Amino acid sequence: MIELTILPAASLRTTTRRLPPWLKRPLPAGDVFSRTRRIVAESGVATVCQEARCPNLTECWSKRHATFMILGDKCTRRCHYCAVSTARPEPPAADEPHRLAHAVAELGLSHVVITAVARDDQKDEGAGHFARCVEEIHRLCPDTTVEVLPADFHARRECIQNLCDARPDIYNHNLEMVERLTPQFRPQGKYRRSLEVLRLVKQIAPHIMTKSGLMAGLGETRDELLQSFADLRAVDCDVLTVGQYLQPSDQHAPVARYYEPAEFDELAAIANQMGFVSVAAGPFVRSSYNAEDVFVESRRRLEGSAEC
Protein backbone atom coordinates (compact mmCIF):
# COMPACT_ATOMS: atom_id res chain seq x y z
CA MET A 1 0.00 0.00 0.00
CA ILE A 2 1.37 3.31 -0.97
CA GLU A 3 0.29 6.71 0.14
CA LEU A 4 0.51 8.82 -2.94
CA THR A 5 2.77 11.69 -3.70
CA ILE A 6 0.01 14.11 -4.71
CA LEU A 7 1.39 17.39 -3.40
CA PRO A 8 -1.56 19.59 -2.42
CA ALA A 9 0.30 22.48 -0.81
CA ALA A 10 2.35 24.45 -3.29
CA SER A 11 3.93 26.39 -0.42
CA LEU A 12 5.69 23.26 0.85
CA ARG A 13 9.12 22.96 -0.71
CA THR A 14 10.27 19.36 -0.98
CA THR A 15 13.57 18.04 -2.23
CA THR A 16 14.27 14.51 -3.41
CA ARG A 17 15.51 12.39 -0.54
CA ARG A 18 17.36 9.11 -0.67
CA LEU A 19 15.08 6.55 0.96
CA PRO A 20 16.02 3.03 2.01
CA PRO A 21 14.97 0.39 -0.52
CA TRP A 22 12.05 -0.92 1.57
CA LEU A 23 10.41 2.51 1.32
CA LYS A 24 10.36 2.54 -2.48
CA ARG A 25 7.35 1.12 -4.31
CA PRO A 26 5.65 1.61 -7.67
CA LEU A 27 2.58 3.83 -7.84
CA PRO A 28 -0.50 1.86 -8.93
CA ALA A 29 -3.34 3.58 -10.78
CA GLY A 30 -6.20 2.47 -13.03
CA ASP A 31 -9.95 2.87 -13.35
CA VAL A 32 -10.73 2.32 -9.66
CA PHE A 33 -8.21 4.96 -8.64
CA SER A 34 -9.68 7.44 -11.13
CA ARG A 35 -13.23 6.75 -9.94
CA THR A 36 -12.26 7.20 -6.29
CA ARG A 37 -10.55 10.47 -7.11
CA ARG A 38 -13.64 11.69 -8.97
CA ILE A 39 -16.05 10.78 -6.16
CA VAL A 40 -13.82 12.42 -3.55
CA ALA A 41 -13.51 15.57 -5.64
CA GLU A 42 -17.25 15.77 -6.27
CA SER A 43 -18.03 15.36 -2.57
CA GLY A 44 -16.14 18.51 -1.70
CA VAL A 45 -14.96 16.80 1.51
CA ALA A 46 -11.23 16.90 2.19
CA THR A 47 -9.21 13.72 2.68
CA VAL A 48 -6.27 13.26 4.98
CA CYS A 49 -4.81 11.19 2.15
CA GLN A 50 -4.21 14.39 0.19
CA GLU A 51 -3.91 17.05 2.87
CA ALA A 52 -1.38 15.09 4.93
CA ARG A 53 0.42 13.89 1.79
CA CYS A 54 0.01 10.25 2.78
CA PRO A 55 2.46 7.88 1.04
CA ASN A 56 -0.29 5.23 0.72
CA LEU A 57 -2.78 7.33 -1.26
CA THR A 58 -2.48 5.61 -4.62
CA GLU A 59 -2.63 2.12 -3.25
CA CYS A 60 -5.61 2.87 -1.03
CA TRP A 61 -7.54 4.81 -3.66
CA SER A 62 -6.93 1.97 -6.10
CA LYS A 63 -8.88 -0.18 -3.63
CA ARG A 64 -11.66 2.42 -3.13
CA HIS A 65 -10.31 3.25 0.33
CA ALA A 66 -10.27 6.89 1.38
CA THR A 67 -9.97 8.59 4.76
CA PHE A 68 -12.20 11.64 4.86
CA MET A 69 -11.18 14.74 6.80
CA ILE A 70 -14.13 16.80 7.97
CA LEU A 71 -14.46 20.30 9.42
CA GLY A 72 -12.35 21.80 6.63
CA ASP A 73 -8.76 21.51 5.52
CA LYS A 74 -7.21 24.11 7.84
CA CYS A 75 -6.16 23.19 11.37
CA THR A 76 -6.04 25.47 14.41
CA ARG A 77 -2.92 23.67 15.66
CA ARG A 78 0.59 23.44 14.24
CA CYS A 79 2.36 20.13 14.65
CA HIS A 80 5.88 20.03 13.24
CA TYR A 81 5.43 16.68 11.50
CA CYS A 82 2.06 17.33 9.82
CA ALA A 83 1.47 18.70 6.31
CA VAL A 84 -2.10 19.90 6.97
CA SER A 85 -2.26 23.70 6.71
CA THR A 86 -2.50 25.78 9.88
CA ALA A 87 -4.77 28.79 9.47
CA ARG A 88 -8.06 30.31 10.59
CA PRO A 89 -10.66 27.81 9.33
CA GLU A 90 -14.03 28.57 7.78
CA PRO A 91 -17.19 27.76 9.78
CA PRO A 92 -18.21 24.10 9.49
CA ALA A 93 -20.32 23.45 6.38
CA ALA A 94 -23.85 22.47 7.41
CA ASP A 95 -24.27 20.14 4.44
CA GLU A 96 -20.96 18.32 4.94
CA PRO A 97 -22.50 15.32 6.79
CA HIS A 98 -24.81 14.64 3.82
CA ARG A 99 -22.06 15.10 1.22
CA LEU A 100 -19.79 12.80 3.20
CA ALA A 101 -22.41 10.07 3.60
CA HIS A 102 -23.29 10.30 -0.10
CA ALA A 103 -19.61 9.80 -1.05
CA VAL A 104 -19.35 6.80 1.30
CA ALA A 105 -22.45 5.31 -0.35
CA GLU A 106 -21.19 5.96 -3.89
CA LEU A 107 -17.82 4.39 -3.10
CA GLY A 108 -19.61 1.39 -1.61
CA LEU A 109 -17.45 1.44 1.51
CA SER A 110 -18.10 -1.27 4.08
CA HIS A 111 -15.79 0.54 6.54
CA VAL A 112 -14.95 4.23 6.59
CA VAL A 113 -12.44 6.24 8.59
CA ILE A 114 -13.35 9.85 9.38
CA THR A 115 -10.76 12.18 10.80
CA ALA A 116 -10.81 15.93 11.32
CA VAL A 117 -8.62 18.94 11.81
CA ALA A 118 -8.47 20.38 15.33
CA ARG A 119 -11.16 23.05 15.70
CA ASP A 120 -10.19 24.88 18.86
CA ASP A 121 -12.12 27.86 17.48
CA GLN A 122 -15.46 26.09 17.96
CA LYS A 123 -17.31 26.09 21.28
CA ASP A 124 -17.56 22.29 21.22
CA GLU A 125 -14.32 21.89 19.21
CA GLY A 126 -16.35 20.36 16.36
CA ALA A 127 -17.66 17.37 18.32
CA GLY A 128 -21.29 18.01 17.41
CA HIS A 129 -20.52 18.28 13.71
CA PHE A 130 -18.41 15.13 13.92
CA ALA A 131 -21.32 13.28 15.57
CA ARG A 132 -23.72 14.44 12.84
CA CYS A 133 -21.38 13.06 10.19
CA VAL A 134 -21.36 9.65 11.90
CA GLU A 135 -25.13 9.68 12.32
CA GLU A 136 -25.69 10.56 8.67
CA ILE A 137 -23.48 7.68 7.51
CA HIS A 138 -25.42 5.33 9.80
CA ARG A 139 -28.65 6.62 8.26
CA LEU A 140 -27.60 6.44 4.61
CA CYS A 141 -25.23 3.44 4.86
CA PRO A 142 -26.52 1.32 7.77
CA ASP A 143 -24.19 -1.60 6.97
CA THR A 144 -21.02 0.52 6.93
CA THR A 145 -18.86 0.41 10.04
CA VAL A 146 -17.49 3.77 11.11
CA GLU A 147 -14.08 4.55 12.58
CA VAL A 148 -13.56 8.03 14.00
CA LEU A 149 -10.16 9.68 14.41
CA PRO A 150 -10.77 13.05 16.12
CA ALA A 151 -8.49 15.56 17.78
CA ASP A 152 -8.28 15.42 21.57
CA PHE A 153 -11.16 17.86 22.33
CA HIS A 154 -8.90 18.88 25.25
CA ALA A 155 -10.20 15.66 26.88
CA ARG A 156 -13.54 17.37 27.57
CA ARG A 157 -15.93 14.68 28.69
CA GLU A 158 -19.00 16.30 27.12
CA CYS A 159 -17.35 16.43 23.69
CA ILE A 160 -16.21 12.81 23.84
CA GLN A 161 -19.65 11.79 25.11
CA ASN A 162 -21.31 13.54 22.17
CA LEU A 163 -19.22 11.64 19.66
CA CYS A 164 -19.61 8.31 21.49
CA ASP A 165 -23.39 8.80 21.50
CA ALA A 166 -23.27 8.79 17.68
CA ARG A 167 -22.23 5.11 17.94
CA PRO A 168 -18.94 4.84 16.05
CA ASP A 169 -17.67 1.28 15.84
CA ILE A 170 -14.11 2.23 16.73
CA TYR A 171 -12.72 5.36 18.37
CA ASN A 172 -9.17 6.12 17.24
CA HIS A 173 -7.04 8.82 18.84
CA ASN A 174 -3.33 8.86 18.12
CA LEU A 175 -0.68 9.26 20.78
CA GLU A 176 1.57 10.13 17.79
CA MET A 177 4.93 9.94 19.58
CA VAL A 178 6.63 9.17 22.86
CA GLU A 179 6.13 11.46 25.83
CA ARG A 180 9.58 13.10 25.79
CA LEU A 181 9.20 14.29 22.19
CA THR A 182 5.60 15.52 22.40
CA PRO A 183 6.35 19.11 23.57
CA GLN A 184 8.95 19.51 20.83
CA PHE A 185 6.92 18.26 17.86
CA ARG A 186 3.35 18.61 19.06
CA PRO A 187 3.39 21.80 21.15
CA GLN A 188 -0.40 22.20 21.38
CA GLY A 189 -0.96 18.56 22.24
CA LYS A 190 -0.29 16.74 25.48
CA TYR A 191 0.75 13.12 25.81
CA ARG A 192 -1.15 12.50 29.04
CA ARG A 193 -4.22 14.30 27.69
CA SER A 194 -4.34 11.94 24.72
CA LEU A 195 -4.19 8.99 27.09
CA GLU A 196 -7.04 10.54 29.06
CA VAL A 197 -9.14 10.73 25.88
CA LEU A 198 -8.80 6.99 25.37
CA ARG A 199 -9.51 6.32 29.05
CA LEU A 200 -12.70 8.41 28.90
CA VAL A 201 -13.95 6.62 25.79
CA LYS A 202 -13.68 3.28 27.59
CA GLN A 203 -15.39 4.73 30.66
CA ILE A 204 -18.24 6.30 28.68
CA ALA A 205 -18.76 3.48 26.18
CA PRO A 206 -16.91 0.28 27.12
CA HIS A 207 -18.33 -1.49 24.07
CA ILE A 208 -16.56 0.87 21.64
CA MET A 209 -13.20 -0.42 20.45
CA THR A 210 -10.32 2.02 21.00
CA LYS A 211 -7.25 2.45 18.83
CA SER A 212 -4.12 4.57 18.83
CA GLY A 213 -1.05 5.06 16.67
CA LEU A 214 2.59 6.00 17.06
CA MET A 215 5.21 7.24 14.61
CA ALA A 216 8.75 5.88 14.78
CA GLY A 217 11.81 7.74 13.55
CA LEU A 218 11.59 11.11 15.30
CA GLY A 219 14.41 10.40 17.74
CA GLU A 220 12.73 8.16 20.30
CA THR A 221 14.44 5.21 21.94
CA ARG A 222 13.20 1.64 21.87
CA ASP A 223 12.49 1.76 25.60
CA GLU A 224 10.43 4.93 25.14
CA LEU A 225 8.33 3.24 22.47
CA LEU A 226 7.72 0.28 24.74
CA GLN A 227 6.73 2.63 27.56
CA SER A 228 4.18 4.23 25.24
CA PHE A 229 2.79 0.78 24.44
CA ALA A 230 2.46 0.13 28.18
CA ASP A 231 0.79 3.51 28.75
CA LEU A 232 -1.80 2.69 26.08
CA ARG A 233 -2.53 -0.70 27.59
CA ALA A 234 -2.95 0.99 30.99
CA VAL A 235 -6.00 2.83 29.56
CA ASP A 236 -7.31 -0.36 27.92
CA CYS A 237 -6.49 0.66 24.35
CA ASP A 238 -7.45 -2.27 22.13
CA VAL A 239 -5.63 -1.65 18.83
CA LEU A 240 -2.16 -0.26 18.13
CA THR A 241 -0.57 0.96 14.91
CA VAL A 242 3.12 1.83 14.53
CA GLY A 243 4.59 3.29 11.34
CA GLN A 244 7.63 5.08 9.97
CA TYR A 245 7.60 8.87 10.15
CA LEU A 246 8.29 10.40 6.73
CA GLN A 247 9.13 14.09 6.41
CA PRO A 248 6.40 15.81 4.32
CA SER A 249 8.65 18.72 3.28
CA ASP A 250 11.85 20.57 4.11
CA GLN A 251 9.81 22.75 6.47
CA HIS A 252 8.85 19.83 8.69
CA ALA A 253 10.72 17.85 11.33
CA PRO A 254 13.48 15.71 9.78
CA VAL A 255 13.59 11.94 10.05
CA ALA A 256 16.00 10.92 12.80
CA ARG A 257 16.31 7.38 11.45
CA TYR A 258 14.54 4.77 9.34
CA TYR A 259 13.46 1.59 11.07
CA GLU A 260 14.00 -1.63 9.14
CA PRO A 261 10.98 -3.92 8.53
CA ALA A 262 12.37 -6.50 10.96
CA GLU A 263 12.38 -3.89 13.73
CA PHE A 264 8.68 -3.24 13.18
CA ASP A 265 8.05 -6.99 13.33
CA GLU A 266 9.84 -7.13 16.68
CA LEU A 267 7.84 -4.17 18.04
CA ALA A 268 4.59 -5.82 16.90
CA ALA A 269 5.52 -9.07 18.66
CA ILE A 270 6.24 -7.24 21.91
CA ALA A 271 3.02 -5.20 21.67
CA ASN A 272 1.00 -8.36 21.10
CA GLN A 273 2.51 -9.87 24.21
CA MET A 274 1.38 -6.79 26.15
CA GLY A 275 -2.24 -7.66 25.43
CA PHE A 276 -3.38 -5.51 22.52
CA VAL A 277 -6.24 -7.13 20.64
CA SER A 278 -4.54 -6.29 17.36
CA VAL A 279 -1.27 -4.67 16.29
CA ALA A 280 -0.27 -3.34 12.86
CA ALA A 281 3.36 -2.26 12.56
CA GLY A 282 5.46 -1.57 9.47
CA PRO A 283 7.18 1.15 7.48
CA PHE A 284 3.99 2.21 5.66
CA VAL A 285 1.50 1.59 8.45
CA ARG A 286 -0.73 4.56 9.26
CA SER A 287 -3.80 4.84 11.48
CA SER A 288 -6.17 4.36 8.58
CA TYR A 289 -4.02 2.02 6.49
CA ASN A 290 -5.90 -1.26 5.94
CA ALA A 291 -8.23 0.00 8.67
CA GLU A 292 -11.07 -2.30 7.69
CA ASP A 293 -8.88 -5.41 7.84
CA VAL A 294 -7.53 -4.35 11.23
CA PHE A 295 -11.04 -3.66 12.55
CA VAL A 296 -12.51 -6.93 11.30
CA GLU A 297 -9.65 -8.94 12.77
CA SER A 298 -9.87 -7.07 16.07
CA ARG A 299 -13.62 -7.60 16.31
CA ARG A 300 -13.19 -11.31 15.55
CA ARG A 301 -10.61 -11.68 18.31
CA LEU A 302 -12.72 -9.73 20.81
CA GLU A 303 -15.77 -11.85 20.04
CA GLY A 304 -13.68 -15.00 20.30
CA SER A 305 -12.29 -14.03 23.70
CA ALA A 306 -15.79 -13.17 24.95
CA GLU A 307 -16.97 -16.68 24.09
CA CYS A 308 -14.15 -18.36 26.04
Q: What does the alpha-carbon distance between residue 204 and residue 149 come to, in Å, rounded to a whole number?
A: 17
Torsion of CA 285, 289, 295, 297, to 10 degrees: -60
Would you put residue 304 in left (φ > 0), alpha (ψ -120 to 50) or beta?
A: alpha
> What are the residue boundaries of the structural domains of the chain, listed by start?
25-307
Classify domain 25-307 at the CATH topology level.
Answer: TIM Barrel (3.20.20)
Q: What does the alpha-carbon distance between residue 200 and residue 156 come to, in Å, rounded to a whole number?
A: 9
pTM: 0.86
How many CA atoms, within 13 angstroms, populate the side-chain half-sphere of residue 18?
Answer: 0
User: Taking 50 as the threshold, does the pLDDT of residue 208 lie above it?
Assistant: yes
Given pLDDT bands bounded at 50, 70 and 90, which one contains residue 37?
Answer: low
List CB contacts of 221: < 8 A, sequence separation 6 or more.
178
Q: Closest by alpha carbon to 174, among 165, 185, 166? A: 185
Q: Compare 60 and 167 and report the one with higher pLDDT.
A: 167
Helices in 79-156 by DSSP H: which ranges?
A: 96-107, 127-140
Q: What does the alpha-carbon distance between residue 234 and residue 177 come to, in Å, rounded to a whole number?
A: 17
Give pLDDT, residue 27.
61
Give pLDDT, residue 290.
78
Q: What does the alpha-carbon distance between residue 70 and residue 153 come to, in Å, rounded to a whole number?
A: 15
Segment 69-120, tens digit of pLDDT: 899 888 999 888 787 888 888 999 999 999 999 889 988 888 999 999 999 9
Q: Closest by alpha carbon to 152, among 91, 218, 212, 240? A: 212
